[in-house]
Chains A and B, each alone.
Chain A
């Protein structure tokens, strides 16, 4: 069972974020929220309402009225118990109903104040209590902490958000005792391009950063007496963890182009949290807090690859709804079985003249029976009596008395008392006519034209009656009656024995004239009600209630339907309402927005191609060639449906019913099949890596790069862990290995179809925890601007501070700032000293190094010398060796010479011994020369 969660949006941005959460949830589950989650939205702007969604909007709105501001201020100031040192003076405050006017103190005042519209503080508390008790039924089994997780979201740039976000945290802490997971997700302004005209916004955000930082300090206490006469004191930080998001990427990519995109990302994040990410994060965060890798603040980067099935379905449903609704208000054609037929107004007119005639006849004959007495039979009897002369007094008087308005108990009296019966018949028949016509032709212009023609026929009839001398004035009737009496009694064709028949006929004619006289006033009423009636003209005596259809109702319906579709271009959209066409173009432009880090993938090409293909699929599967009203209203009569919608808020009813019905049908027929995003990633790894890398850059500009921490969550979220592992592998093959194949980095959410999300949380830099006041690049400038502003525009600094800083008085702010300055100074001095020391150290080290180096050099030189010496010695030895060898060789040579000489001596001796030989002598002399 999932942990109960409450999402609280504050201010208009809070509402938009919650709407995105709701949309994401609807996309994935077909429901607006799970049972264990409650959406709450607190607003000071009267006009902002949660918008229309396909299902009933689940975002509960708590309106904090800022009316009668003086009274609110007084009510707080006059109560000595309530802490009121922060309350701005009542003069110069914003006008009624326009939100907190960008003044955080007004936002806080809205939360604390009460006026004739209610007690805001109590309302907010009750709303949170209600939400708590609702989600309280979904506690987690077997887990000690079964308190809900609460996420407060909104932007801290306007009056409402900045004014109440800290009170809000402590109110929640007060209501939900010992709450563990109280998180803030706040949207902040991006890096300023220029401060001109933006001073208030940036000052408010600075106030928010500063005040939050102030209360995060364990030494600073939040101690107030609330307007519900509760003293509350806490030195806990307001939120366990606050996450800041802006439109800026930390890696220099172009910022998210629209605030809508930022709301979407915040919405995606919160949605994932209620859908499984929260638990996964929490596992890691415990370690992150424990190891000092995270404290109070962080931010995140998020990106996704998505097959936008829901948007495709919604686009088709919108198209079908537009087609169908436009058919209802097509002024020149109606459709029968999908075939376009022009509206023939003259044919309708002729038909209506006949119809009106029939209706009148039926109404008149309904008047013939009065209280069980049949006037027709009675007249027959009277005719015989009169002809026979079987009557009292003279004939003329007798006949006159039957029809005169001056007598009672006669025909006149009977019909007059019974006239409502005829009126009911007329109303019923006209109502049926319109009902059938609207249901058959599905076109309100046909019905309108019919009613117009009916009125024309009625006018003609009244005109004709008038020409006969008929009027609803009784005196005029008496005149006519005198003439009639004469006519009735003259020449009754006695000769032909027809006197009874003739007189009966003439009496009948007079009775009809009398009915006309009596009903003509009612016909005028009916005409007036049809043409300009504001309240319905119902039947009185019929068992079933019928209402006379009115032209302004039909016109109103036409207007409302046209406005729902968005046909009327000059039409101003009411707060919280989107026309069908507008929603359609919103979807289209959203699909094209490149600055949102969601890559939309379409297996069939582009978004519109995808839509077209699925639309054809829908037509094939439902066996239709055009959208049919039965999809939306089943067998119900269209006129009945439109009437009941009209009696509620028609636009919202139509918007909801139509889109919902078509979406349901699209779902049932599975016209838009699911698509496995990992397939896309497999085929387009480069593109997928590009998108995944975007999640590495958080949506916040900081001075130093964020560092990775093993404890801060970094997750790929998809519907199947096996496929996620495959994606990680594909990324690794593409030299992108930031996401690991570990369980900590993988989150499987089975119901999360058609999307893969990359989520990287960031909260550590320079080996310490992130602190926005220190680390956000432009906050120093913002602070300087904030402090210089009162001088620049020449307003008292007290008022400026009082407006911007509802939680910290000026004196405290200055004190803390001075302390901080001193601390900074001290730190700077320390740093300086450290620097000096370090410099000396460096010098010493350098000198040591130099000495060392010289020693080494010396040694090297010595070594070289020795080496050279050794070398020389070696050479010398060699030389000596060679000399010895040479000497040896010379010795040998000498020895050989001596030997030779000796041999020569020997030979000479031999020669001398042997005798003189001249030849031998010659040879010897030659050798000597050599």
Chain B
């Protein structure tokens, strides 16, 4: 338990680069937890939505909603990360710092990009697909 706690702590709140092996392990944990959180959000949103519209669209729409919620969660996490580490600890001039903070940045930007692309795809589908 303590081990998992440490692992999560390191994966989410350690911005120091301590070598590739550790980084890989922490990254895997990071990805799994992030994925799990997003799935949970999506699942809940889908199950809670009782709308009568076509299921394919409904799920796609719910996916967009889940992305928004997830972005909010990520923003919260980034806030706590900065609070926990302290802005003074961020050494903007060192390359290793970017290796440590990289996944968070990618996650943040990635979520936004994913939302935008998914949204435009949904729009096209609503417009052109016969199956709606």
Which residues of chain A have a CB within 8 Å of any CB of chain B?
468-470, 484, 487, 493, 495-496, 498, 501-502, 504-506, 509-510, 513
Chain B residues, CB < 8 A from A502 = 55-56, 59
Q: Cβ of B130 and Cβ of A496 under 8 Å apart?
A: no
Q: Cβ of A513 and Cβ of B130 under 8 Å apart?
A: yes
Closest A residue to B45 using CB positions: A496
Q: Cβ of A506 and Cβ of B56 under 8 Å apart?
A: yes
Closest B residue to A483 using CB positions: B130
Q: What are 30 inter-chain pairs, A to B, with CB distance below 8 A?
A: A468-B130, A469-B130, A470-B130, A484-B131, A487-B131, A493-B55, A493-B59, A495-B39, A496-B43, A496-B59, A498-B46, A498-B55, A498-B59, A501-B55, A502-B55, A502-B56, A502-B59, A504-B55, A505-B54, A505-B55, A505-B56, A506-B55, A506-B56, A506-B131, A509-B54, A509-B130, A509-B131, A509-B132, A510-B131, A513-B130
> Complex formed: what's the CA distance from A513 to B54 in Å?
14
Closest A residue to B60 using CB positions: A493
The reply on B42 being an interface residue by CB < 8 A is yes
Chain B residues, CB < 8 A from A496 = 42-43, 46, 59
**Overall SS of chain A's interface:** helix
Chain A CB within 10 A, most for which of B43, B46, B55, B132: B55
> Complex formed: what's the CA distance from A513 to B42 in Å?
30
A512 shortest CB reach to chain B, Å: 9
Chain A residues, CB < 8 A from B131 = 484, 487, 506, 509-510
Chain B residues, CB < 8 A from A509 = 54, 130-132
Closest B residue to A496 using CB positions: B46
Q: Which of B43-61 contact A (CB under 8 A)?
A: 43, 46, 54-56, 59
Chain A residues, CB < 8 A from B56 = 502, 505-506
Q: Please report the number of residue pairs spanning A and B whose Cβ atoms sit closer than 8 angstroms.
A: 32
B121 shortest CB reach to chain A, Å: 14
Closest B residue to A480 using CB positions: B130
> Complex formed: what's the CA distance from A510 to B43 in Å?
27
Chain A residues, CB < 8 A from B55 = 493, 498, 501-502, 504-506
Closest A residue to B62 using CB positions: A496
Closest A residue to B131 using CB positions: A509
Chain A residues, CB < 8 A from B132 = 509
Write out, one digit per residue, whether chain B residues 10-32 have a CB within 8 A of any chain A CB (1) or not (0): 00000000000000000000000
Which residues of chain B have a CB within 8 Å of any CB of chain A?
39, 42-43, 46, 54-56, 59, 130-132
> Complex formed: what's the CA distance from A487 to B131 in Å?
9
Chain B CB within 10 A, most for which of A495, A504, A509: A509
Closest B residue to A499 using CB positions: B55
A573 shortest CB reach to chain B, Å: 57
Closest B residue to A509 using CB positions: B131
> Complex formed: what's the CA distance from A468 to B132 in Å?
12
> Complex formed: what's the CA distance from A755 to B56 in Å?
87
Chain A CB within 10 A, most for which of B54, B56, B132: B56
Closest A residue to B59 using CB positions: A493
> Complex formed: what's the CA distance from A502 to B43 in Å?
15
A499 shortest CB reach to chain B, Å: 10
Closest B residue to A470 using CB positions: B130
> Complex formed: what's the CA distance from A470 to B46 in Å?
32
Chain B residues, CB < 8 A from A505 = 54-56
> Complex formed: what's the CA distance from A468 to B42 in Å?
31
> Complex formed: what's the CA distance from A96 to B132 in Å?
70
Chain B residues, CB < 8 A from A501 = 55
Given contacts A505-B56, A509-B130, A513-B130, 5 further A-B pairs with CB under 8 A are A495-B39, A496-B43, A502-B59, A505-B55, A506-B131
A318 shortest CB reach to chain B, Å: 59
A460 shortest CB reach to chain B, Å: 15
A469 shortest CB reach to chain B, Å: 8
Chain B CB within 10 A, most for which of A498, A504, A513: A498
Closest B residue to A503 using CB positions: B55
B11 shortest CB reach to chain A, Å: 24
> Complex formed: what's the CA distance from A541 to B42 in Å?
49
Chain A residues, CB < 8 A from B54 = 505, 509
B51 shortest CB reach to chain A, Å: 11
Closest A residue to B43 using CB positions: A496
> Complex formed: what's the CA distance from A487 to B39 in Å?
24
Closest B residue to A469 using CB positions: B130
Chain A CB within 10 A, most for which of B46, B54, B59, B131: B131
Chain A residues, CB < 8 A from B43 = 496
B89 shortest CB reach to chain A, Å: 39
> Complex formed: what's the CA distance from A501 to B56 in Å?
9
> Complex formed: what's the CA distance from A513 to B132 in Å?
10
> Complex formed: what's the CA distance from A707 to B42 in Å?
120
> Complex formed: what's the CA distance from A484 to B129 in Å?
11
Chain B residues, CB < 8 A from A470 = 130
Chain A residues, CB < 8 A from B46 = 496, 498
B105 shortest CB reach to chain A, Å: 28
Chain A CB within 10 A, most for which of B54, B56, B130: B130
Chain A residues, CB < 8 A from B39 = 495
Chain A residues, CB < 8 A from B130 = 468-470, 509, 513
> Complex formed: what's the CA distance from A484 to B131 in Å?
8
A83 shortest CB reach to chain B, Å: 87
Chain B CB within 10 A, most for which of A487, A495, A505, A506: A505
A463 shortest CB reach to chain B, Å: 14
Closest B residue to A500 using CB positions: B55
> Complex formed: what's the CA distance from A505 to B56 in Å?
8
Closest B residue to A465 using CB positions: B130
> Complex formed: what's the CA distance from A214 to B55 in Å?
104
Chain B residues, CB < 8 A from A504 = 55
Chain B CB within 10 A, most for which of A469, A501, A510: A501
> Complex formed: what's the CA distance from A5 to B68 in Å?
99
A861 shortest CB reach to chain B, Å: 147
In order of increasing CB-CB distance, the 3 nearest A-B pairs are: A505-B55, A468-B130, A502-B55
Chain B residues, CB < 8 A from A468 = 130
